[in-house]
Amino acid sequence: MIERRPPLPLAGLVVPGRGAVARAITAHPFRALSLVLAAVSVAHLLTEPAWAVGWGYVRSAVHILVSPHWFALYALRPDIQMGPITFLVGAPLVLILKGDAGRFAAVLLMLLIGLAIMREAQRILAAESPSARRRWAVAAVLFAIAWPELAVRFGHLDDALALFFAVLAMRLLQDGRTVAAGLAIGVAVDCKPWMLPLAAVLLFAPRHRWPALGVVVLAVVVVWSPFFLLDPASVRALQFRIPVSSGSTLWLFGIRAHGTPPWCRPAQLVGGALLAAAAVRRGRPLAAVLVVVAFRMLLDPGAHSYYASGLLTGALLLDLDATLALATLAALVLVLGPVYLVPPRIPVLVSGFRTVGIVASLVAAFALPLHRRRELGPRGEPHRVDVPRSSKAAAL
């Protein structure tokens, strides 16, 4: 089912360009970005009868985890498709704060995670040119418009944490800290398993690639194995099937199954890993998060609008190296926009626009003109290669 949505919060917000507004934002970036996040969040709270609906999963899981049967969490609730680290982070809010107080605190935490994502993206730029910082500012404002969809309307702490650790991993890789990046990817998987394909980027690190991959495996095994070893029925969580939404690409192409097709999850993992590897090989390592998220969305039976926040996260990273913040703008307009602007009574339009936006994001990951290309250079230090705008390489 596709529900009727209220108008897009701050739909009339003027997106900053390359001029005075962008320079003003870069002068005091996080003050401005905090205001954008706050304004869009308030709009969500005022227009949504239910907010942070996903917080109920965290609350239920925490109550099970503090019981004597904690190890049966995924056997008792296979519908909880969140990783254990999510509940570790959310537990204080559930156990100390009650009712809406805990839910509101979780929303604030997720908004702070959004700011942290933008901060890590900014740190990737390091001491690069003012024009690069202005591109980051434009992309960050677009990201900030979309982030409350995840943080406020849906309240999915697992996705917020997974996306933060994915961005952190990419920043650590750019700094040459491969093993630390492997740990960040492992923690991302411990929040949301669909982040596992991102580990493919470690294969192209100039050194410590195998220790880093070992750290990913260790982080995943240590966190997940107690549930599967102590209660083998936990495998039910891996077999949980959600209905194919009429807003999804699967539905658009005639797959109308009552549950997730059995080939879907393996295809998402393999395809995402191959695309992430291809992005690194083509000198576009910052596109890895975008292609992993986009390919997952393309094959996912669900079509929740908060998925777009993940797409905007990947686009934000890609636009750090682009000539313009086009990937972030396209993701916002083509993927999140139709949810609010296309009549829900015509699902083929919703799923069609959404699919076009996802495919456009995948194309942008490999074809968007870059201001400069990046490769992980010798000794694990970032090596940046300028791409002349007039050369054929700029079109790659």
Our measurement of the distance from residue 176's CA atom to the centroid of its chain's CA atoms, rounded to an integer in Å, reads 23
SS3 at position 322: strand
Res. 381: pLDDT tops 60: no
Instruction: Please state, in angstroms and rounded to a whole number, the distance separating the CA atoms of residues 396 and 392.
Output: 7
**Mean pLDDT value of segment 229-245:** 89
Lowest-pLDDT range of 101-115, 263-277, 315-329: 315-329
**Domain annotation covers residue 167:** yes
How big is the CA angle at 68 (ends 63 and 72), to the nearest 5 degrees? Answer: 75
> Residue 260 phi/psi, 5° resolution?
-55, 125
Instruction: Please state, in angstroms and rounded to a whole number, the distance separating the CA atoms of residues 17 and 285.
Output: 26
Instruction: Compute the CA torsion angle 157, 168, 42, 345 (nearest 10 deg).
Output: -70
Q: What pLDDT shows up at residue 177?
A: 93
Percentage, residues of the chain above pLDDT 90: 62
pLDDT tens, residue by residue, 184-232: 999 999 999 999 999 999 999 988 999 999 999 999 999 999 999 999 9
First to last CA, the chain: 39
pLDDT tens, residue by residue, 141-168: 999 999 999 999 999 999 999 999 999 9
Q: What pLDDT shows up at residue 26?
A: 60
Res. 365: pLDDT tops 90: yes
User: Which pLDDT band, with edges at 50, 70 and 90, does 24 fall under?
Assistant: low
Instruction: Please state, in angstroms and rounded to a whole number, the distance separating the CA atoms of residues 183 and 284.
Output: 22
Give me the DSSP letters along 12-81.
Answer: TPPPP-SSHHHHHHHHSHHHHHHHHHHHHHHHHHHH-SS--TTHHHHHHHHHHHTSTTGGGHHHH-TT--
- Number of neighbours of residue 246 by Cβ within 10 angstroms: 17
**Domain annotation covers residue 153:** yes
**Domain annotation covers residue 9:** no
Instruction: Please state, in angstroms and rounded to a whole number, the distance separating the CA atoms of residues 342 and 349.
Output: 7
pLDDT tens, residue by residue, 121-136: 999 887 567 777 888 9
**Overall domain count for the chain:** 1
**Domain annotation covers residue 110:** yes
Instruction: Please state, in angstroms and rounded to a whole number, the distance separating the CA atoms of residues 116 and 131.
Output: 22
Instruction: Please state, in angstroms and rounded to a whole number, the distance separating the CA atoms of residues 273 and 258.
Output: 27
**Domain annotation covers residue 7:** no
**Domain annotation covers residue 64:** yes
On whether the CB atoms of residues 242 and 250 are closer than 8 A, the answer is: no
b (16+ CB within 10 A) / e for 339-376? bbebebeebebbbbbbbebbebbbebbbebbbbbbbbb
Token pair, residue 214, equals 């070992």
**Domain annotation covers residue 365:** yes
Token pair, residue 313, equals 């996260």
Q: Tell me which residue range forms the domain holding 366.
A: 25-395
**Mean pLDDT value of segment 241-245:** 88
**Domain annotation covers residue 247:** yes
State the residue for tokens 């500012």. 137
> Based on the number of CB atoms within 10 Å of its own CB, is 101 exposed (0-12), middle (13-18) or buried (19 or more)?
exposed
